[in-house]
Structure 1
Amino acid sequence: MGNSSSMLTQYDIEEVQEHCNHAFSQQEIVSLYNRFCQLDRSSGGFVSADEFMSVPEFAVNPLAQRLLRMVDGLNFKEFVAFLSAFSPRTTPRQKIEFIFKVYDLDCNGKATFDDILSILRDLTGSFMSEQQRQKVLAHVFEEAGYSPDSSLGLSDFIKIFGNSELKMEVEVPID
């Protein structure tokens, strides 16, 4: 499984299923493996940031640069674990944990007002002024019971998003 030119065994498939908490069926894992091999142009068993950027949908995502820090150098098992956040079989809590990792820019276990504001800049671009972004975010923080000086941890994200219906799903085409 380390070399992308090898074939997946039944054991490999079951190991990957276990690693991603059964977010994907065996057929989906085989399809994901085929896609992984296409992305791994160097056949090194890892997908680089440049290889991820070759996917048009990924490249145009306003959060692509932030996601790259999470995906650069993933092997197949890690690749599937990353994608599992987008599986319909993933729990809302697992999706929230993924979202938190995107917002925790410095990986210190906290998302600050400035961390979230930075992502809001990426998402809104020139459609909002800096003053509008700050005002909107301050209002969101206030509505959730926090101040702009607050640092939000994973438990805060769970509290805020816990009752939300998160639509983070991607269908895996079966080859």
Structure 2
Amino acid sequence: MGANTSKLPDQDIRDYQDLTYLSKAEILRAYKRMQEEVAKAGRDPHQPTNMYLTFKEFHRMKEMEFNPFADRICHVFSSKGDDCLTFEDFLDMVSVFSESASKSIKTAYAFKIYDFNDDGLLEETDLAELIRRITNPSEISGLRSDEIYEIVRFILLEADLDENKYISLTEFELVVSKSPDFVKTFCIRF
């Protein structure tokens, strides 16, 4: 990793390998990537207390700058609930978005990311926000509100099996199970 990069202890690497879907090389790459971003933020990346990213710093990463869900990703993976990512939070996120993560793990985290009000359900407002973020990235063009809610009604008609006006995690898992490309599309390489 070079003379300017502090070393991640071997025991930590083994522990991280046991707790994630990542190889040693992927863990070291994530560590180096985090150090680069910490340095860009003006903090010393060799000090363990500096190994965090604020949402603003996270959003500036080239992998996130155009992601319409960057704020939600940061929020979901922030262990302290402060929308800052520690190295362990960042590693958890990299693990979930890796090609090695299971479909069930990816599905559970996708559900959390799309659950904008954090109530454990995908309701009309969550689905509308999801559609808005996908179709109106520039806010200049895209779908009108009535068009968005027409799509929401269709989604609920197809996915809300018990007709209670929201999609549960179980129902979401069923929808995702019918999408063979979901695992491929829910990957980000850091």
**Structure 1 range deviating more: 64-73 or 10-19:** 64-73
Partner of 1:151: 166
Higher RCO (CA < 8 A, seq sep 6+)? 1
Work out the CA distance in 1 between the residues paired with 2:67 and 2:150: 24
Work out the CA distance in 1 between the residues paired with 2:158 and 2:166: 15
Partner of 1:85: 96
Question: SS of the residue aligned with 1:158?
Answer: helix
Contact 1:49 1:73 in 2 (8 A): yes
Work out the CA distance in 2 between the residues paired with 1:159 and 1:8: 40
Segments ≥4 residues shifted beyond 6 Å: none
> For residues 99-118 of structure 1, what are the structure 2 equivalents within 5 Å?
99-118=110-129
Task: For 2:52, give the aligned amino acid.
Answer: F
Contact 1:39 1:51 in 2 (8 A): yes
The alignment's TM-score, normalised by the length of structure 1, stands at 0.84
Contact 1:100 1:154 in 2 (8 A): yes
Work out the CA distance in 1 between the residues paired with 2:7 and 2:38: 14
Question: SS of the residue aligned with 1:59?
Answer: coil
Work out the CA distance in 1 between the residues paired with 2:85 and 2:174: 30
RMSD: 2.0
User: 1:25 pairs with 16, 23, 26, which one?
Assistant: 23
Work out the CA distance in 1 between the residues paired with 2:30 and 2:161: 40
- Consecutive unaligned residues in structure 2, runs of 5 or more: none
Contact 1:93 1:162 in 2 (8 A): no
Contact 1:63 1:123 in 2 (8 A): no
**Structure 1 range deviating more: 162-171 or 91-100:** 162-171
Work out the CA distance in 1 between the residues paired with 2:75 and 2:177: 25
Partner of 1:169: 187
Task: For 1:77, give the aligned amino acid.
Answer: E
Work out the CA distance in 1 between the residues paired with 2:163 and 2:147: 15
Instruction: Report whether the alignment pairs 1:15 with 2:30.
Output: no
Partner of 1:122: 133
Distance change >3 Å, CA 134–CA 149, structure 1 → 2: farther
- Consecutive unaligned residues in structure 1, runs of 5 or more: none
